[in-house]
Amino acid sequence: MKIKVAETAGFCFGVKRAVDKVYQLIEEGVSPIYTLGPIIHNEEVVSDLTQKGVQVISEDDLPCLNRGTVVIRSHGVGKHIYDLLRKTGLDYVDVTCPFVLKIHRIVEKESNDGKQIVIFGDPDHPEVKGICGWCNGPYTVLSGKEETEHFTPVPGKELCVVSQTTFNYNKFKELVEILSKKSYYNNVLNISNILNTICNATEERQKEAKNIAGEVDTMLVIGGRRSSNTQKLFEICKEECGNTYYIQTPVDLDSEMFHHSSYVGITAGASTPKKIIEEVQEHVRIKF
C-alpha cells in the first residue's frame, strides 16, 4: 500500500502555541487552570489535559470563580470577556492566534469608523463569535451562497468584509464574487474593503489536501468531530476523491475503506496531534 501524508497535516502555529502553553502552566505547578472552552477541538488532547487537572469552563462560570488562571484559547474571545476577567480579578493567559487577533483589530477599527462588518464563517464557531464581540456596530455572518445572495445591508452603511481564518478558500472567492456582482449590477452594496483573512496555513493545507485527494484511491482526513477546519478539509477532499473518510483515531479505520485501493492519502486538521497522524499512518501500513 502506497501512502502519502500531507506535509501541512497537523498542528498549526496557533494551536501548537496554545497547547504548549497549557502544558507549560501544568509543569510550572500553576493551579487551578481553566480553559475557556476546550483548548482545541480534539478530544484526545482535551482528555489528557483533564486528567492532568485542567478544567474546561464557559463564560457563565467566570463570575463564580475566585482564584485560578484562565486560558483564552487560540479561537479568541470578544471584548466583553476581557472586561469580565478584569472585573473578577482573575489571572489569565491569552493564547489567541495572532491571525485571529488581527481580525479583531480590523473589525474594531472599521466598525468604529461606521462600517457594517460582514464575516464569512460559521456563526456558531467560537472564533466567529469572538470576532463578532469586537464589532461596535452592525455586523452579519454569512456562511453560504444562498445567504449571501439574499444579504441586504443596513441602508447607507459601507461594508467591510472579513473571513474566519479556517474558512474554505474557494468558498470565500465564490461569496466575494456574489457580493461584488450585487454591488456592481444592483448598486445595493457599497463595499469599501474585502479582506482575505484566511490564514496562510489554512490555504496551504487546503490546497495540498485537494492535490493529494486528486491522486489517491482512498483519502483519510483526521481530526476532531467539532473541528471546523477539519470538516472543510473533508469537504474539499470528498469533491476530489469519492472514497474520502473523516476519522479521529486509528480505531475508526475499517478494511472496507481500502477495498481496491493501492494508494492512500492522509491529511489532518490543525488541531490533530502529530502522534495520532503517525499512528494512523502506521496502522494503514501494517493492517491493510
User: What local confidence, expressed as pLDDT, does residue 183 receive?
Assistant: 79
CA pair distance 56, 38, nearest whole angstrom: 6
Q: Is the pTM of this model over 0.75?
A: yes
CA pair distance 42, 265, nearest whole angstrom: 21
CA pair distance 142, 163, nearest whole angstrom: 9
Q: CA-CA distances (angstroms) from residue 237 to 132, 175, 216?
A: 30, 20, 10
* Residues belonging to the active site: 127
CA pair distance 267, 93, nearest whole angstrom: 31
For the segment(s) 99-194, the CATH number from 3.40.1620.10, 3.40.1010.20, 3.30.70.20, 3.30.230.10 is: 3.40.1010.20
- Asked whether the domain spanning 99-194 has the same topology as the one spanning 2-10+200-287, the reply is yes
- Dihedral sign, Cα of residue 189, residue 194, residue 199, residue 204: positive
CATH 3.40.50.1950 for domain 2-10+200-287: no
Which residue, 105, 103, 97, is CA-closest to 120?
103
Q: Could you list the pLDDT tens digit for every one of the 288 residues in the chain? A: 899 999 999 999 999 999 999 999 999 999 999 999 999 989 889 999 999 999 999 999 999 999 999 999 999 999 999 999 999 999 999 999 999 999 999 999 999 999 999 999 999 999 999 999 999 999 999 999 999 999 999 988 999 999 999 999 999 999 999 998 887 666 667 888 999 999 999 999 999 999 999 999 999 999 998 898 999 999 999 999 999 999 999 999 999 999 889 999 999 999 999 999 999 999 999 988
**Ranges of each domain in the chain:** 2-10+200-287, 13-96, 99-194
For the segment(s) 13-96, the CATH number from 3.40.50.720, 3.30.360.10, 3.40.50.11270, 1.10.486.10 is: 3.40.50.11270
User: What local confidence, expressed as pLDDT, does residue 184 receive?
Assistant: 67
Conformational region of residue 10, where left means phi above 0, alpha means psi within -120 to 50, and beta covers everything else: left
Task: Name the β-bridge partners of 35.
Answer: 56, 71
Name the pairing type of β-strands 263-268 and 218-222. Answer: parallel
Task: Name the β-bridge partners of 117.
Answer: 139, 160
